[in-house]
Amino acid sequence: MPNICENVIEIQGTLKNVEKLLDTCKTVGHEGRFDNNERIEVYDLTLGREMPNEFDTIATGSNTINGVKVEKWEYVHKETGQAFTNGLEAMQNEDLVAVAVTEERLEKLKEKFGFDNWYDWAYANWGTKWVTSVAIDNVTIDTWTEEETEMAQVSFVVDSAWSPPFVLLEFLANEYDLDIHDRWWEEGGEAGWIHIVDQVVEEE
């Protein structure tokens, strides 16, 4: 289990740009780290820089398949060969069997995305391996007018693994022309602020 990093995030900008980001990140899912199978409307920041679905079936780490150690594998149906989304459900499905991902396929993924697995892609593009979603009802939205321009600020709390999602936040700030502040605390004792204002990143 990773150390959990709590992120208190504020996003500021024109109302138009804030709404554009929220519309992109709006989905149906669960809030927080634990899925209780209750589906609600949430905001998922990672949808602003969505992981390629080609990584959905690939597991990473260390596994031994037919006596051979492998670092990347999939769970496929014993009869059809169909690969299933990686996760606990696939691991426990007796109709599925683990098979190593071929080197040819891994090379194709590298050529297309720069990485051959979800873990490395996530750290390069988000700065962490996951970010939790937040229920829409738990997001605070304030609006005001500034020099005849409608402005907005949204505030919420999400968790991430080991460290704040600083790469993702910088990308979203640049992509949607927003200022983003993240007051983060990692349960190992580290803490700090990330400020992204006018596309300039400052940490404290």
Give the residue extent of every domain in the chain: 4-51+127-203, 53-113
Mean pLDDT of 156-180: 97
Per-residue pLDDT reduced to its tens digit, 86-110: 988 999 999 999 999 999 999 999 9
Crossing angle of helices 118-125 and 166-176, in 10° steps, is: 60
Tallying the residues shown for the chain, one arrives at 204
The CB-based long-range contact list for 53-56 (8 Å cut-off, 24+ gap) reads 54/109, 54/112, 54/113, 55/109, 55/113, 55/117, 55/118, 55/121, 56/85, 56/86, 56/118
86 is written with which tokens?
A: 């990686």
> For the chain, what percent of residues have pLDDT higher than 70?
100
Residue 204 has pLDDT above 90, yes or no: no
Residue at 99: amino acid letter: V
Nearest to 80 by CA among 56, 96, 58, 101: 96
Q: Which CATH architecture has domain 4-51+127-203?
A: 2-Layer Sandwich (3.30)
Predicted local distance difference test score (pLDDT) of residue 1: 67
Instruction: Give pTM, 2 decimals.
Output: 0.91
Q: pLDDT for 106-141, tens place per residue? A: 999 999 999 999 999 999 999 999 999 999 999 999
Average pLDDT of the chain, as a whole number: 95
- Residue located via tokens 């750290």: 123
Residue environment code for 79-99, b if the CB has 16+ CB neighbours within 10 A, otherwise e: eeeebbebeeebeeeeebebe
Q: Is residue 188 pLDDT above 90, yes or no? A: no
- The amino acid present at 127, given as its one-letter code, is G
The share of the chain scoring above pLDDT 90, in percent, equals 90
Q: What's the whole-number mean pLDDT along residues 26-38? A: 89
What's the confidence (pLDDT) of residue 37? Answer: 80
Give tens-digit pLDDT for 49-67.
Answer: 999 999 999 999 999 999 9
Dist. CA 143–CA 11, nearest whole Å: 12
Q: What is the pLDDT of residues 34-48, one digit of tens each?
A: 888 889 999 999 999
Angle between helices 166-176 and 15-25 (to 10 degrees): 130
